Amino acid sequence: MTVGSLYADVLGLLGDVERALCTSQFASWRAGPDRDWACIASNIEVETALAPADFQSLLADFLRRFADGTPPCDAWKFACWDHQRRGARVPRAHRPQVLGRAMPARQYADLLFEAEDSEIASREASLQFLREHAGRAHLSGPHARTLRRAPLSHRLIWATFNSAAPDADPFAALSRTKAAVRTAFGLGHLQPEETLVLLAYRSDLPDADWPLHRPTIADAADGPYYRPHVDPLHLHGWTCPLAPNVEGLAGQPELVHAALVGVGLIFPYHIT
C-alpha cells in the first residue's frame, strides 16, 4: 500500500473493524497462490480514478456481501458490478469522434444471432457472416442492418481510440494480428489463438448522448489485466501491454461506456 494513496485515505473513512477486514482480505489475495487475485488486490491499492465517496461505497458493499456469507471473490465482483461507470466523464470537448472495440469474433457472432429480429439461422451461420463481410468497406442493405441493430455487448463496453487522431480508426496503426491486438490491449484473459473482431464506431452521432468514463477498478471487477493509471486527473486510462511484448507495443487509450447497439458502426470491420 502506498502511503498517502487514495486507498489509504478511503480506509481511514471506514470503521476499525471494516478497515481490518479489508486490509486482511486484500493482503490474503496479494500473498496467495492465485496470481490473478494478487493483481486485483494490487490494483485496489493503487486505484486513482474513483471518487473517495464511490471508493468507500464500493468497499462497504464488498464488506456487506462478505459478511452475509458471499465468498470474498464473488463479493468483490458483485460489489464492483454495482459501482461501474463511476469514473470521471470525458468532457464533451475531449470526446473522441471514433471509438474502437476488440472482442472475440465468436462472442460478437452470438450477439448478431441473438439480436432482436435477427435473420441469421444459427450461431455458426453468424460466424460465417462475420468472416464473409470482414474488410468490406461498402456494406449496405440487409447486411449493414444486421450489424447495426445488434448490440456490441450485453454489459459494460471497454473502448479505445486513437489519441493522435480521435476521428480515425483506432486500430489503423496496429498490424491487426491476433498477437499484436491481444498484446497491445492487454487481453490476457483471451487465449493467443482466439480470433478477434475489430469494430470502429462513431461516438459523435446526433443522438450519441451516452457518457464516456475513465475506467476504474470497479469496471475491471475480477479482471486482473487492468492497471490503474497513476494520474488521478487524466481523462482516460491506458492499457498495460502483455509480456512478452516483443514488438514493443505501446499501451492504448481506454474508456468505458454502457452497452449499446451498433448504429454508429464504421465499415469495414476487421477480423484478426
pLDDT at 1: 41
pLDDT at 119: 85
pLDDT at 208: 81
What would the mean pLDDT of 7-31 be, rounded to a whole number? 96
Residue 67 has pLDDT above 90, yes or no: yes
Question: Could you write out the three-class secondary structure of the chain?
Answer: CCCCCHHHHHHCCCCHHHHHHHHHHHHHHHHCCCHHHHHHHHHHHCCCCCCHHHHHHHHHHHHHHHHCCCCHHHHHHHHHHCCCCCCCECCHHHCCCEEEEEEEHHHHHHHHHHCCCCCCCCHHHHHHHHHHHCCCCCCCHHHHHHHHCCECCCCCEEEECCCCCCCCCCCCCCCCCHHHHHHHCCCCCCCCCCCEEEEEEECCCCCCCCCCECCCHHHHCCCCCCCCCCCCCCCCEECCCCCCCCCCCCCCEEEEECCCECCCEEEEEEEC
What would the mean pLDDT of 104-130 be, rounded to a whole number? 92
Domain extents for the chain? Answer: 6-81, 92-271
pLDDT at 86: 97
